[in-house]
Structure 1
Amino acid sequence: MPESRIPSRRGLLLGSAAVSAGALLTACTSNEPKNQAAPSAAGNAPVADDKPGKPVTIGFAGPQADHGWLNAINQNARDRAKKYADVTLEITEGSNDTAAQIGQIQTLINKKVDVLVILPADGKALTQVGLQAMAAGIPVVNLDRVFASPQAYRCWIGGDNYGMGLNAGRYIGEQLKGKPDAKVVELAGLDNLELTKQRSQGFDDALKNYPNITKVARQAAEFTVESGQAKMAQLLQAQPRFDALWNHDDDQGVGALRAIAQAGRKDFLMVGGAGARSAMDAIKADDGVLKATVLYPPTMAASAIDLARALGQGKGIGGMAELEIPSSVTLYSAVVTKDNVGDYLPTGFN
């Protein structure tokens, strides 16, 4: 699952929909615009739109798509690139081996692509190759898992892990605020990932606003169906009564729901995470414990293609006064419930 930085990354909030092609601002590999005439006002800056412009070759390198969310990342990138007649997408096979991914990115650098979009398997380990691309004059859009140095990318775009936990906690808090001595449990992801710590911290901070609620148990799973089922079974056995469950990841949530069904438990509400189509379908049906999911939208990959296209064309977007695209873009973790699930179903991933 993705790993991103927190508070400093949350300055610019976007919804779960991809950044439109008409929303990107003029930019280059540094913060100084080049090869463009100075506009008389910000509103006169060149603006990227759906009309064909300068051809741009975008290299896309991500980790192995061994998870529903990661597969959706690749698909969003491909689909967005197909929208533009002026974009050629060079996409790598994807690997969770850092040496292999570095080699793939170096191949794209040697091909002299115009822009790189990189979702690193390990941000720290791949920082050097990001620096190498920037030094070669190829602007880098760093997707989600952040490089260790801001010099390794021109723009970062990703999700808000702290905000994900915060919004899950707020939703649960509002559902249980009238219930005395309410109890909640948490099914987290991999504890060795910073993103898991951020999600848990956000959840805990939200619950501080609801003194009637106590978190009585937390179990870490591994973002897989199998681990979700096994760890949820342990939680259910250890906790004969609780009122709400927050599960960090909808993929492992499939296993959690199996364990819940096998135990015959219907006495609590469940909130998922990420925005899988299966979770949204269950929320829409409203016939089980799953009542909401907090988005970590894979549409960020489509937005990254928009940003890369604007960088390659030296253009920008409407809707902002600045001539440059921002250095970071953090997506908003919307809560999907039965009341708004119809709006988000098209973004659900398998």
Structure 2
Amino acid sequence: MSHTPSRRGLLFGTAAVSAGALLTACTSNEPSSKDDSKGDAAPAADETGKAVTIGFAGPQADHGWLNAINVQARQRAKKYKDVTLDITEGSNDTATQIGQIDTLINKKVDVLVILPADGKALTQAGLKAMRAGIPVVNLDRVFANPQAYRCYVGGDNYGMGLNAGHYIGEKLKDTKNAKVIELSGPDSLELTKQRSKGFDDALKNYTNIKKVARQAADFTVESGQQKMAQLLQAQKSFDALWNHDDDQGVGALRAVDQAGRDGFLMVGGAGARSAMDHIKADDAVLKATVLYPPTMAASAIDLARALGQGKGLAGLSESEIPTSLTLYSAVVDKTNIDQYMPSGFK
């Protein structure tokens, strides 16, 4: 007969599977397996299980994607009658966010979901929670020490660049001496480096394409406009642009309009509603965007609930949830825009 392990034992035990489980399995309506060798599925959204209080600490929602993260977390928690969400105000100041996490630890929440403003700087906060017996779901920006979290949920930054590069490559594969430029995020972020590396690796498959310029912006409208204007001034002609972030893409499109430029393909990043509106209307050089889904916050709530209830995932044999889950970065263009339009964030 199975027994419920201690919370500390559950956190630092050896169980767990690799990435790739479908989060929808957390809310499966299929009945639990009768086989004692398989883990119990988390109850469905309309079924009430053990009451779980989930603490949620993230950075300041000063960006469309970060605001969407908070919205996704709140909406998901509301779907569960057995979940109480304790969400902090959010701060980009490391000391402030550490203090907010300390408060949630002192409240003895059942599970913590943390999207750190700086993964390395917040690692000790994650470790403190885990050592206090509170499992941590590390969201998006990964801690420097895997012992600081029970489960990691995030986007595929390398895959995002890879998919953007392959999409552009296929569009330009018959273009002789094609030129591509890149408007990246801040070079201080590891995610930016991963996105650029994926993009460059994809372009290596196309011998006719050369990346001729790159500028780093700051994920803001203003920086996107400024850096794009510099790129346009330096490059009198090119065939495609990949922009890492749809918020800064708003500024990039303004710079393009002001310069009266066209004749090239622009691919965005993240999946903002503004980008999807342009793709749907086909009224700008922006023809596609590569998703970095804020739905990862909803998935984090699913996993946190399962952790708090001591459940695994339906459809998997293991008794524990995975240690990591990496979301896929789909490319959205006019061929599939209707499918993804509802996920566009403001």
> Is 1:290 matched with 2:295?
no
The one of 68, 71, 81 equivalent to 2:67 is 71
**Residue 39 (structure 1) shift:** 5.3
How many residue pairs are counted as aligned between the two chains?
324
Q: Conserved in 2, the CA contact under 8 Å of 1:39 and 1:45?
A: no
The one of 326, 339, 343 equivalent to 1:343 is 339
Q: Could you list the per-position Cα deviations for residues 97-137 of structure 1 after superposition, in whole angstroms to 9, with x for gaps in the alignment?
A: 10100000000000000000000111111111111111111
The one of 301, 304, 310 equivalent to 2:300 is 304
Distance 1:284 1:46 in 2: 39
**Residue 324 (structure 1) shift:** 1.2
Distance 2:133 2:35 in 1: 24
> Is 1:12 matched with 2:19?
yes
Distance 2:207 2:224 in 1: 29
Q: TM-score, with normalisation over the residues of structure 2?
A: 0.91
> Is 1:270 matched with 2:279?
no
Distance 1:181 1:254 in 2: 28
**Residue 13 (structure 1) shift:** 4.2
Indicate the residue corresponding to 2:10 in structure 1: none
Indicate the residue corresponding to 2:43 in structure 1: 48
The one of 88, 92, 100 equivalent to 2:96 is 100
Q: Percent identity of the aligned residues?
A: 76
Distance 1:197 1:349 in 2: 24
Letter in 1 for 2:156: D
Aligned with 1:151: secondary structure? helix
Indicate the residue corresponding to 1:315 in structure 2: 311
> What residue ranges of structure 1 are gaps of 5+ in the alignment?
1-10, 25-37
Change (3 A) 1:302 1:197: same
Indicate the residue corresponding to 1:162 in structure 2: 158
> Is 1:226 matched with 2:222?
yes
Letter in 2 for 1:149: N
Indicate the residue corresponding to 2:122 in structure 1: 126
Letter in 1 for 2:19: L
Distance 1:135 1:118 in 2: 15
Letter in 2 for 1:246: W
Change (3 A) 1:302 1:46: closer
Distance 2:26 2:317 in 1: 16
**Residue 233 (structure 1) shift:** 0.7
Letter in 2 for 1:217: A
RMSD: 1.6
**Residue 339 (structure 1) shift:** 0.8
Indicate the residue corresponding to 2:133 in structure 1: 137
Aligned with 2:42: secondary structure? coil
Q: Conserved in 2, the CA contact under 8 Å of 1:271 and 1:292?
A: yes
Change (3 A) 1:130 1:313: same
Distance 1:340 1:52 in 2: 36
Q: Could you list the per-position Cα deviations for residues 2-22 of structure 1 after superposition, in whole angstroms to 9, with x for gaps in the alignment?
A: xxxxxxxxx63478xx64532
More off after superposition, 301-310 vs 314-323: 314-323
> Is 1:21 matched with 2:26?
yes
> Is 1:116 matched with 2:112?
yes
**Residue 84 (structure 1) shift:** 0.6
Larger relative contact order (CA 8 Å, sep ≥ 6): 1
Distance 2:173 2:26 in 1: 42
**Residue 344 (structure 1) shift:** 0.8
Q: TM-score, with normalisation over the residues of structure 1?
A: 0.90
**Residue 191 (structure 1) shift:** 0.9
Aligned pairs for 1:232-247 within 5 A: 232-247=228-243
Change (3 A) 1:283 1:118: same
Change (3 A) 1:291 1:158: same
Letter in 2 for 1:45: D
Change (3 A) 1:83 1:20: farther
Indicate the residue corresponding to 2:9 in structure 1: none
> Is 1:82 matched with 2:83?
no
Distance 1:131 1:325 in 2: 19
Aligned with 2:290: secondary structure? strand
Distance 2:144 2:68 in 1: 25
Aligned with 1:21: secondary structure? helix
Q: Conserved in 2, the CA contact under 8 Å of 1:272 and 1:290?
A: yes
Indicate the residue corresponding to 2:326 in structure 1: 330
Indicate the residue corresponding to 1:210 in structure 2: 206
